[in-house]
Amino acid sequence: MDLRQFLMCLSLCTAFALSKPTEKKDRVHHEPQLSDKVHNDAQSFDYDHDAFLGAEEAKTFDQLTPEESKERLGKIVSKIDGDKDGFVTVDELKDWIKFAQKRWIYEDVEQQWKGHDLNEDGLVSWEEYKNATYGYVLDDPDPVDEFNYQQVMVRDKRRFQMANKDGDLIATKEEFTAFLHPEEYDYMKDVIVQETMEDIDKNSDGFIDLEEYIGDMYSHNGKADEPEWVKTEREQFVEFRDKNHDGKMDKEETKDWILPSDYDHAEAEARHLVYESDQNKDGKLTKEEIVDKYDLFVGSQATDFGEALVRHDEF
């Protein structure tokens, strides 16, 4: 095995490796919090800044003068107004907040795009992805026998097909993003469930029973006693995961487990920002209304040092 094969084998095996005996594997996809700050506008707008810009970008605004912050905010508003009708709606603001929170995903896609759009035509075909990812392994007359690359490639192709809406196995950047980060797209939820069930369903009966459920997150390694969290997971399976109490989870029960319907933090924040800034109470914001309440959306040197924090009448 040469170095390239070893490194690829190592990375793929790591993705499928079992958890440590005392380490809980979390397969549940939760919507992350918008900020680790406390949301209390009576004290500061730090939470709103993190939510609207993303935590890292919010820090850059704290170094700007109020005039510079307003100017940059105005440019952002033009991007948020997707239909260019001069207004920012709750939905447009929600979409922006979700984008700002997950900017790292798009940066990751940009990096991978460069390595897979081999003919630089602005699209990534399955053949391009396969050749860039598995090419030298498939061409090797003495393939690595420690890991089944063919199995992983078949699984990748199935996900690529799911992401590729028109079925031509040629992905746009949006479709490629769905392939790399399926948890971000509603139409990719079925493939997430399918892959999860394949990982856990060791007897291949199409269901996840209690022992398979526990075995995915905990290995006894000859120990008789289980940690308390494992006992709790057994109870969770019996009482909540297995909704019809037939001793196993089917596809829908697995979906409810790993893709719960979380509280939509982005929508709640979008509604909050509109409520606080909508001077004429028409349910949408103009650029002027947003910039007028700039300190709610972004920071500046003034708000950073507490010198000119504009207080809302409600407080």
Distance set, CA 288 to CA 19, 21, 81, 277 (Å): 53, 57, 13, 10
The model's confidence at residue 306, banded by pLDDT at 50, 70 and 90, is very low
Cα dihedral 89/90/96/97 (nearest 10) = 160
Residue 242, token pair as written in the block = 């297995």
Under 8 Å CB-to-CB from 282, ≥6 apart: which residues? Answer: none
Distance set, CA 281 to CA 179, 285, 290, 291, 315 (Å): 41, 9, 13, 16, 19
292 vs 312: CA distance, rounded Å: 12
Across the chain, what does the average pLDDT equal?
Answer: 85
Structure confidence at residue 140 (pLDDT): 64
9-33 tens-digit pLDDT: 444 444 444 334 445 567 888 778 8
Q: At 248, give phi and psi (nearest 5°).
A: -155, 160
Under 8 Å CB-to-CB from 161, ≥6 apart: which residues? Answer: 126, 167, 169
CB distance 49 to 43 below 8 Å = no
Phi-psi region of 122 (alpha: psi -120 to 50; beta: other; left: phi over 0): left
CB distance 160 to 129 below 8 Å = yes
Q: Which among 265, 277, 312, 296 is positioned nearest to 89, based on CA atoms?
A: 277
Structure confidence at residue 144 (pLDDT): 55
- What sign has the CA pseudo-torsion 186, 187, 188, 190? positive
Under 8 Å CB-to-CB from 294, ≥6 apart: which residues? Answer: 66, 69, 70, 73, 300
53 vs 34: CA distance, rounded Å: 10
48 vs 270: CA distance, rounded Å: 10
CB distance 146 to 130 below 8 Å = no
Under 8 Å CB-to-CB from 276, ≥6 apart: which residues? Answer: 41, 293, 296, 312
Q: Which among 107, 82, 94 is positioned nearest to 173, based on CA atoms?
A: 107
DSSP state letters, 105-135: HHHHHHHHHHHH-TT-SS-EEHHHHHHHHHH
Structure confidence at residue 250 (pLDDT): 98
Residue 130 has pLDDT above 90, yes or no: yes
Residues 104-109 have a mean pLDDT of: 90
Beta-bridge mates of residue 277: none
Output the pTM of the full model: 0.72
Structure confidence at residue 300 (pLDDT): 79
**DSSP 8-state code for residue 82:** T
Structure confidence at residue 226 (pLDDT): 87
Residues 266-283 have a mean pLDDT of: 96
The model's confidence at residue 143, banded by pLDDT at 50, 70 and 90, is low
Number of H helices, E strands in the chain: 17, 4
Residue 201 has pLDDT above 90, yes or no: yes
244-257 tens-digit pLDDT: 999 999 999 999 99
148-177 tens-digit pLDDT: 678 889 999 999 999 999 889 999 999 999
Structure confidence at residue 142 (pLDDT): 60
